[in-house]
Structures are given as C-alpha cells and as structure tokens.
C-alpha cells in the first residue's frame, strides 16, 4: 500500500461531503473526469474501495467511513495550524448555513460589517430552504431552528424570535381586519407546503388549532412574504421580516409564536479562529438587535 497523496485525500473529502463526484468537481473547481481519475488512483494506492455507486451518487463504504474520520481530523489540525489566533488577519473560506428568512432579512444586510473586519476571508452564505450539516462538515457554522440531538457538534442558543400573523395594508382595507383567530379561518392563508417542510418547527398553523390550512403554499418564506405583501392573503412571518416591511401590518395580536435559533459548529472546529470570530460577531449583533427578534 502506497502512502496517499494529500491532494487525493482532499478530493476524497470533497466527494464524501458532497455525495457526488459532480458536486466535488464544482466545489474544487476541477473537471469531474479528473476527480474520478484521482479517486481511482487513491483507491489503488490504499488497496480499498472507498465508495459504492448509488442512484444518487457516491456512498461511503466501511473503509471510506474509516478514512473520512482520519482525513477530517487531519483537515481540522491543518486548519488550526494555518490560522492566526486573533480575529484580525484571518484568511480562507467561512461557510455559514442559515434559514432563508434569517439569511435574507437579517444576516445579508449586516454581513458587510463582518467582511470589512476580516478582508482576508471569503464568506459563503448558504441561505435556503434547508440546512447544510456541520456534523458532516458541509458547513463551518449553521444557524438552525432546533438544537441537534446527534452528531459531533456543539450548539449554543443564539436568540429566541417571535412570529405573528401579517397582512398587506391594502388587503385589510379591502376585506377588513379579522378580529381573533376564529375569523382567520375564513380567510385565504399563505403558508408552507406541509409535506415539504424541512423542519418541524415550521408547523406554525397546526399548533394553533384546527381549520387553519394554507391555500397558497410555498417552500420559501421569501415567496410567502411576497405573496402576503401582494394581498394574496394572511400568513405567519417572523417579526424580523414582517415588522421590517412598511406595507405589512401585524394582526391577531392574541397569536404569539416563539422559536429559537441555535448556533452549531463541528466539535473539532469550534476553536478555529475564523469560526470563533463569526460566533462572537453574530452574538454581539443579535444582542444589539434584540428588539427585532422579541417583537
């Protein structure tokens, strides 16, 4: 068995994290044919099959799982050696996975401040319907809707946040404002697609009682906010979204929903300087903006 080339191990790590050779190629900026060739070379050097081909891409074999644990430990050690201990002078890439709403309405308008403090960092903001996994090292940091119960991760409470019903002012002028939750049941509701929810914490309507079924549905909180803004109906939004839009009005004050954002990192990476710098910065920002989240 020949000692593996570190560049081949980096390619192995990218395939393991992405689950597909094509994704690894995009992440590394390398041709997929080259990725496949280097993987075959690594398997020959080690004398072991590292992946099985599946319908969805590449799945780790038992040998691949063992190698992944070793390579991830090597990567974490290399990152720790390569990073300065202080907040200034940081370099490399920091990937942050957040919900679409938090990423669009809160983090994106403020990220320039963090970028200015650390001009050597490249910032990847994965803000979509669903999250990347710190446990699988798909992201450096994730801001999640629930505290993970498994995986090699460390989680801390970032902030609680409030949600409520919203409607467009022109919609209310035309239809009248519903007085109480009972009146909401007769209105058109905007909400999530139930069977496409990526987190159970988004089942707001179910927790409020029977008869609250959205007729206009989207997996995207931004699409829901735009539909409500356009007068399509009523819907539940985080207050840091709804209160920021002057065309929307909060209604049915008796409905007060609360959720929590959790800041999550891989246990092995939690002391990396770039991760600590972001955790410090976002923690200070949400404390300063506490009124936005409390409503």
Percent of the chain with pLDDT over 70: 93
Tell me the Cα Rg of the chain. 23
Q: Is the pLDDT of residue 76 over 80?
A: no
Looking at every residue in the chain, the average pLDDT score rounds to 87
Question: Scanning the structure block, which residue is given the tokens 């980096």?
Answer: 10
Specify whether the CB–CB gap between 260 and 159 falls below 8 A. Answer: yes
The DSSP result for 172-193, as a single string, is: HHHH----SHHHHTTS-EEE--
Q: How far apart are CA 243 and CA 224, in angstroms?
A: 15
Q: How far apart are CA 283 and CA 263, in angstroms?
A: 9
Q: Is the pLDDT of residue 205 over 90?
A: no
Question: Scanning the structure block, which residue is given the tokens 């090699």?
Answer: 152
Tell whether 33 and 149 lie within a shared domain. no
Tell whether 143 and 232 lie within a shared domain. no
pLDDT score, position 192: 93
What CATH number is given to the structural domain containing 195? 3.40.190.10
How far, in Å, are 23, 192, 216 from residue 223 at the CA level? Answer: 27, 10, 10
Specify whether the CB–CB gap between 161 and 261 falls below 8 A. Answer: yes
Q: How far apart are CA 201 and CA 157, in angstroms?
A: 15
pLDDT category at 141 given cuts 50, 70, 90 is very high
Shortest CA distance to 238 belongs to which of 223, 253, 225? 225
How far, in Å, are 106, 166, 190 from residue 238 at the CA level? Answer: 11, 9, 14
**Could you report the per-residue pLDDT of 239-280, keeping only the tens digit for each?**
999 999 999 999 998 888 999 999 999 888 778 889 999 999
Tell whether 21 and 139 lie within a shared domain. no
Q: How far apart are CA 144 and CA 133, in angstroms?
A: 10
Which residue has better confidence, 75 or 195?
195
> Does residue 1 belong to any structural domain of this protein?
no
Tell whether 169 and 226 lie within a shared domain. yes
pLDDT category at 137 given cuts 50, 70, 90 is confident
pTM of the predicted model as reported, rounded to 2 decimal places: 0.70
| Domain with 113 in it | 92-159+260-294
- Find the farthest-apart pair of alpha carbons in the chain and give their distance in angstroms, rounded: 76
Counting the structural domains of the chain, the total is 3
């Amino acid at each position: 068995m020949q000692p593996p080339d570190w560049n081949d191990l980096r390619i192995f790590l990218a395939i393991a994290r992405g689950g597909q050779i094509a994704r690894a190629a995009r992440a590394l900026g390398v041709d997929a044919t080259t990725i496949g060739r280097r993987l075959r070379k690594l398997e020959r050097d080690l004398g072991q099959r590292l992946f099985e081909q599946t319908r969805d891409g590449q799945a780790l074999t038992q040998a691949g799982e063992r190698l992944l644990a070793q390579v991830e430990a090597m990567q974490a050690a290399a990152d720790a050696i390569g990073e300065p201990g202080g907040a200034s002078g940081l370099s490399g890439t920091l990937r942050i996975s957040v919900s679409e709403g938090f990423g669009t309405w809160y983090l994106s308008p403020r990220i320039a401040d963090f970028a200015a403090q650390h001009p050597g960092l490249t910032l990847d903001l994965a803000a979509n319907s669903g999250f990347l996994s710190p446990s699988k090292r798909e992201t450096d940091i994730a801001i999640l809707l629930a505290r993970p119960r498994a995986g090699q991760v460390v989680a801390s409470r970032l902030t609680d946040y409030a949600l409520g019903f919203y409607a467009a002012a022109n919609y209310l002028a035309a239809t009248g404002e519903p007085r109480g939750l009972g009146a909401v049941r007769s209105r058109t509701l905007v909400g999530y697609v139930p069977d496409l929810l990526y987190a159970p914490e988004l089942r707001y309507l179910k927790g409020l009682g029977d008869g609250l079924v959205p007729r206009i549905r989207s997996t995207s909180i931004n699409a829901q906010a735009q539909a409500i803004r356009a007068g399509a109906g009523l819907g539940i939004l985080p207050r840091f979204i709804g209160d920021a839009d002057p065309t929307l009005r909060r209604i049915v004050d008796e409905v007060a929903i609360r959720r929590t954002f959790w800041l999550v990192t891989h246990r092995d990476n939690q002391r990396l300087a770039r991760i600590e710098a972001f955790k410090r910065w976002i923690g200070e920002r949400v404390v300063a903006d506490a009124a936005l989240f409390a409503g």
